[in-house]
Amino acid sequence: MHREALAGNPNPSRHLQALHFLGALARINKLRARKSPPSRRATALGGRRITRAAYAAMAVAAGPRRAWSRAILLGLRRNSIAKPFLIKKRILKPHRELRDVGSRAEELRRLLPGARRMEFGSLLDETLNYIHHLTAQVGIMQKIADSLCK
Amino acid sequence: MSSAWTGRARATDDDIKELVAKLQSLLPEARRRSSGRTSAAKLLKETCSYIKSLQREVDDLSDRLSDLISAMDDNSAQAEIIRSLLS
């Protein structure tokens, strides 16, 4: 879980994540450039392509040892847009009475890619790592958006 | 964390306590309960809503980046993207 820290350098995976994402972004930009004036549909699809690139970058940086990153990489390889986090849909709220740890853990299992039948301890471990890469990705994208705004 | 962890051995109570503590410290200040005795269920609830908000942020930023990129002409977009790499 803290392999990077053990290696004495917490940064490698974050750099890898940023580089991978930037590369994907440059490719998406090239694809966009080839088409004639962008339609509204094209820009909506562009957003989805960028979302896919974001999760791909996270998964590559996390490596194949995580169930969530494997699930993402497999989903992308099948060229299917993984449903839980790439298609905007209303997430049904759990029934008010079911607020115990069990049902919360189930909710977490639905949120985390590849976690459907995961045992509780692994679930927490995966969650920590997933949040780590998610926050990194948000930071990367904010920086890029800021620099594109200048 | 014990090395048995990578063999997917079942987590001990101590392992879980450690993970719960780490999770609690990972949540942003506003979501953390000030009392030390947060129930596990509340912590998981905060974790779920934190993950959902992060995923929404990725979505929104993707749309924003898509708009920003399509608003620029090809050459300057490529240059800016590469410039971000160097900064």
Locate tokens 């809503």: which residue? B49
- Measured between beta carbons, the chain A residues lying within 8 angstroms of B50 are 131
Whole-angstrom Cα distance, residue A20 to residue A22? Answer: 6
User: pTM of the predicted model, to two decimals?
Assistant: 0.80
pLDDT given for residue B71 in this prediction: 80
Q: Give yes or no for A10 touching B (CB within 8 A).
A: no
**Secondary structure element (H or E) that encloses residue A61, with its range:** helix A40-62
Task: Quick: pLDDT tens for B41-84.
Answer: 888 999 999 999 999 999 999 999 999 888 876 667 677 777 77
Instruction: Tell whether A4 lies on the interface with B, counting CB pairs under 8 A.
Output: no
Burial class for B22, CB neighbours closer than 10 Å (0-12, 13-18, 19+): middle
Answer yes or no: do A50 and B50 touch at CB < 8 A: no
Please report the ipTM that was assigned to this predicted complex: 0.81
A46 and B81 within 8 Å at the Cβ level: the answer is no
* Pick from A44-48, A62-66, B62-66: least confident: A44-48
- Selected for mutation to probe chain A from B70, B75, B86 (highest A CB count within 10 Å) is B70
Tokens found for residue B51: 């993950």
Coil, strand, or helix at residue A75? helix
Contacts 24+ apart (CB under 8 A), A66-71: A66/A126, A66/A129, A66/A130, A67/A113, A67/A114, A67/A115, A67/A118, A67/A122, A67/A126, A68/A112, A68/A113, A68/A114, A68/A115, A68/A126, A68/A129, A68/A130, A69/A113, A70/A114, A71/A113, A71/A114, A71/A115
Test A108 with B59 for CB contact under 8 angstroms: no
Could you tell me the residue ranges of all domains in chain B?
A: 13-86
| pLDDT tens for each residue of A77-88 | 776 544 455 544
